Structure 1
Amino acid sequence: MGERAVDPDGLSARNATRLRTSRRITAWSMYPLALIQICWTGVDATYLADAGLPLWMAAVSSAAALGSGVLLLLMIRGRIDGRRAADGRLVVWSLALSLLAFAMVQNLLNSVLVLAAWWGVVANATPSRTSRNLGLAVAALSWLKALTLPLALGMSPFAFTFAWSVGIGFALLLRVLFASTFWLWDITNDAIRGQAARARLAVSEERLRFARDMHDLLGHSLSALAVKAELASRLATRAPERAKSEMSEVQDLARSALQQVRGAVNGYRDVDLAGEVASVSGVLEANGTRTTVTGLDGLDLPPNTAALAAWVVREGGTNVLRHSEADRCAVTFTRLPGRTARRSTLVVEVFNDRARGAGDRAASSGNGLAGLSERVSMGGGTLSAARTKDGGFLLRAVLPLQGDAGARTRSSSAPGDHEESR
């Protein structure tokens, strides 16, 4: 039988070749067993000649066994291609042809082996209940033929039991052989495709990571550029020197953003906490938002925690610029000791006093907080973002102070005094 090309589904050329080779080996190791019915019908021609019966019966039984074998091959190939249950038409027609061969074969052992070979294949391509019922029907037909077959009427009870037991054993042997081969094929197929799936997942995660980094980097930088440029345009006629100074800062911000993008492209994603706090404070002050920083002086943090805290400050400052009309912004760092050093945490809060209404909030994409939540969760911390009762907005991150903190929890909303998540 010809081999059908395997759909690579994104597999590399090497893995696709390995999968096709495994498929061919699996298929061709089972194809001969599916045609074994022809052997028993061919052997039966000897018994027909010795008994003086017409040889056309052997020809009919061989032709029927060949047709049944071809249908069994189709079932095997369908099972290898992933169809757990064979087409009902293949089962019915193969059974009809096998029964015809069974009826034409005049030797009891050979006739039992014809049906045993058929059941050994079909049992692996049908549901277990159907397989069991077909097995019982085949066994019953074997007994019925033994009671009516002229060549079997004179058999001793021992010979009769032996012939029937050999048929049952042969059917079970084929059942186990085919089940084991299919099982090995499924393991090989899953392993190769799983390897490709893991590779694709790694690529997707890296793309998401890069997209998140670009958003976090450029979101803040572009917002700061917009604020500075707007301020410079307002000062162009009233205070040219001040406008010139602001445009100089715009240039510096643009260069800094370019360096950050290049760093992200090269895989250097960490940001400096003190530098980030200073940058955010400067931009907010230029926008008219008075900014206070508490708890940063003398704070000694592990590199991973410091990097996460810097991302929280960056995203918090970006949200103040985009989604508030704040007069005041407070950035607070609080170290909370635990019973052990591993349980110590750092709480980073960015609060502004005048969050905008629901309409402005709905217009924003929300990707920044979603990306930050993923980043904090991957670092073992939690993130909450919610309005406060006094009309402000609070972004709070609880970060582990150990770089190897094992817990990876999902971000959750702040309880109690917060009314809605941003």
Structure 2
Amino acid sequence: MGTAALGNESEVGGTGTVSKLTGWWKNRSSAGKVELYTRWSFHLFVAVEILTFGLGGLVLGPREVPGSAEVGLLVLMCVHSVLVGFLSSRALDWLVGRRDRPVWVAVATMIVTALGCVAVLLLRRTGHIDEAVAPMLVTGMTCFASGSLVMCLEKVRHMWGVAPAHAVGTGLAVVAVGLPVVEGVGYAIGVLLSGLFLSFACGFSGWLLRIVYELDRARELQAQLAVAEERLRFGRDLHDVMGRNLAVVALKSELAVQLARRGRPEAVEQMIEVQRIARESQREVRDVVRGYREADLAVELEGARGVLSAAGMDCRVEFEARRALPSEVQSALGWVVREATTNVLRHGDAQSCLIRLAEAADGSGALTLLVENDGAPETPAGPPGSGLAGLRERLAVVDGTLSAGPTEGGRFRLLARIPEQRLEVRA
């Protein structure tokens, strides 16, 4: 028993240790993994510059025991490589938006690179270092500096100019210290080719890292927009569902009170109707929460006729059913009928209401839904609601439009229009 327990504890402990060792990589996002790989690649360049070019100068030197010049150049290459690595790290931070552009670090890198190259050329001119070592050191400093400087630039044409600028500067420096022009051309060609290669590699790495982070931010923004859209949908559906139902409940409750005061038995029927509407509201709210609810156009038209007639209005519904409508069009127009009915009940003192669903009179083939009532107030009562804005959002899904406002004779008109191309039922 004891041995088994100790074995289990050891196994659990080992699993926890492995999890800690691998978690630093597995727990990172895709963008974080790309950044970590890119950043350590540039850190590796520091070691490559020191081991390949710095120590290479000591090995290829003419003397078996390195002198002060060789040791000094090794120190110079170490300082230069660390500075270039620091610039690359700051440039990556700038690319992902964590820091400002490292302008002063870039300027310091250019100065150290220029001074280092001039020092190497002077030592080459005076014979303190071998003629095979100087090109290697100059090419190493300029190419690694080109790669780090490229990542500090935004425009591609500026990036392509870094390596040629280093090549021209190096060639002029070679001639300026008194070395042959042919040797200066050779230096310039070597610096140009190596600088272009590393500029392309570093520039592409920086561009890739930026794109990966932009995609990551875009996914995050898309998720936030999806949440916001769901909240708007829920608020819009809840407003449309409960708005009319509560208005009808208030109307029928008031009617039941008046009938009860007069001792009329119809008061019981009105309260039964209120109970039915309340239960229907519960069901519709559950459907809204689930996100499955759609308004049925025919049901909403008949419901509007019954509700407005029960409120004492002369409600006329004209429905020309010449074609079958897509479900999304029926749902959008059904919500229009529901919201318009709610507005007629809430606002003004309407005596008559016309609801007409027909093809547009201009011959375009579009479908129009007209809701017009009298008794519209001259000025709106209370603050504006979100019902019409929600209807415009619903109609926009089917490329529809909505216009609403007072007309002549104290009437209010609401007109929804669906273009012909959205009226075809998809198989």
Indicate the TM-score class for this superposition, using the shorter chain for normalisation.
Answer: 0.7 to 0.9
Instruction: Work out which of the residue numbers 55, 69, 84 in structure 2 matches 1:42.
Output: 55
Q: How many residues align?
A: 385
What letter matches 1:188 in structure 2?
V
Quickly say closer, same or farther: Cα 1:16–1:392, change in 2 above 3 A.
Answer: farther
| Residue 54 (structure 2) pairs with residue 26 (structure 1) | no
Indicate the residue corresponding to 1:372 in structure 2. Answer: 391
Indicate the residue corresponding to 1:332 in structure 2. Answer: 356
Quickly say closer, same or farther: Cα 1:58–1:269, change in 2 above 3 A.
Answer: same
Indicate the residue corresponding to 1:206 in structure 2. Answer: 230
Shift, 1:203, TM fit: 3.2
Shift, 1:131, TM fit: 5.7
What letter matches 1:43 in structure 2?
G
Shift, 1:63, TM fit: 3.9
What letter matches 1:356 in structure 2?
P
Q: Out of 62-71 and 132-141, give the one that drifted further.
A: 132-141
| Residue 11 (structure 2) pairs with residue 17 (structure 1) | no
Quickly say closer, same or farther: Cα 1:284–1:181, change in 2 above 3 A.
Answer: same
Instruction: Work out which of the residue numbers 117, 126, 149 in structure 1 matches 2:144.
Output: 117
| Residue 93 (structure 2) pairs with residue 78 (structure 1) | yes
Quickly say closer, same or farther: Cα 1:137–1:344, change in 2 above 3 A.
Answer: closer
Quickly say closer, same or farther: Cα 1:364–1:184, change in 2 above 3 A.
Answer: same
CA distance in 1, matches of 2:33, 2:315: 66
Indicate the residue corresponding to 1:221 in structure 2. Answer: 245
Q: TM-score, normalised by structure 1?
A: 0.79
What letter matches 2:204 in structure 1?
S
Indicate the residue corresponding to 1:143 in structure 2. Answer: 171
Q: Is the 8 A contact 2:167 2:189 kept in 1?
A: no
Q: Is the 8 A contact 1:377 1:383 kept in 2?
A: no
Shift, 1:95, TM fit: 2.4
Indicate the residue corresponding to 2:273 in structure 1. Answer: 249
Quickly say closer, same or farther: Cα 1:16–1:71, change in 2 above 3 A.
Answer: closer
Q: Is the 8 A contact 2:166 2:191 kept in 1?
A: no
Shift, 1:165, TM fit: 0.6
Instruction: Work out which of the residue numbers 323, 333, 341 in structure 1 matches 2:347.
Output: 323
CA distance in 1, matches of 2:320, 2:31: 57
Quickly say closer, same or farther: Cα 1:320–1:69, change in 2 above 3 A.
Answer: same
Q: Out of 196-205 and 219-228, give the one that drifted further.
A: 196-205
SS in 2 for 1:358: coil
Indicate the residue corresponding to 2:300 in structure 1. Answer: 276
Q: Is the 8 A contact 2:46 2:81 kept in 1?
A: no
CA distance in 2, matches of 1:85, 1:165: 34
Shift, 1:368, TM fit: 0.8
Shift, 1:31, TM fit: 2.9
Q: Percent identity?
A: 29
What letter matches 1:89 in structure 2?
W
Quickly say closer, same or farther: Cα 1:44–1:147, change in 2 above 3 A.
Answer: farther
Q: TM-score, normalised by structure 2?
A: 0.78
Instruction: Work out which of the residue numbers 278, 290, 301 in structure 2 matches 1:266.
Output: 290
Indicate the residue corresponding to 1:9 in structure 2. Answer: none
SS in 1 for 2:371: strand
Indicate the residue corresponding to 1:394 in structure 2. Answer: 413
CA distance in 2, matches of 1:295, 1:275: 12
CA distance in 2, matches of 1:261, 1:373: 21
SS in 2 for 1:398: strand
What letter matches 1:246 in structure 2?
Q
| Residue 117 (structure 2) pairs with residue 92 (structure 1) | no
Quickly say closer, same or farther: Cα 1:179–1:55, change in 2 above 3 A.
Answer: closer
SS in 1 for 2:406: strand
Q: Out of 386-395 and 306-315, give the one that drifted further.
A: 306-315
Shift, 1:285, TM fit: 2.4
CA distance in 2, matches of 1:203, 1:14: 27
Please give the per-residue CA displacement for 1:5-24, whole angstroms capped at 9, x wherever unaligned.
xxxxxxxx989532222221
Instruction: Work out which of the residue numbers 359, 366, 388 in structure 2 matches 1:345.
Output: 366
Provide the aligned C-alpha RMSD in A. Answer: 3.3
Shift, 1:261, TM fit: 1.8
CA distance in 2, matches of 1:143, 1:319: 82
CA distance in 2, matches of 1:357, 1:194: 47
Indicate the residue corresponding to 1:188 in structure 2. Answer: 212
Please give the per-residue CA displacement for 1:271-323, whole angstroms capped at 9, x wherever unaligned.
23232222222222232322111235787544333333222211110111112
Q: Out of 316-325 and 124-133, give the one that drifted further.
A: 124-133
Quickly say closer, same or farther: Cα 1:15–1:352, change in 2 above 3 A.
Answer: farther
SS in 2 for 1:292: strand
Q: Which runs of 5+ in 2 are unaligned?
A: 1-24, 125-133
Shift, 1:230, TM fit: 2.1
Quickly say closer, same or farther: Cα 1:394–1:250, change in 2 above 3 A.
Answer: same
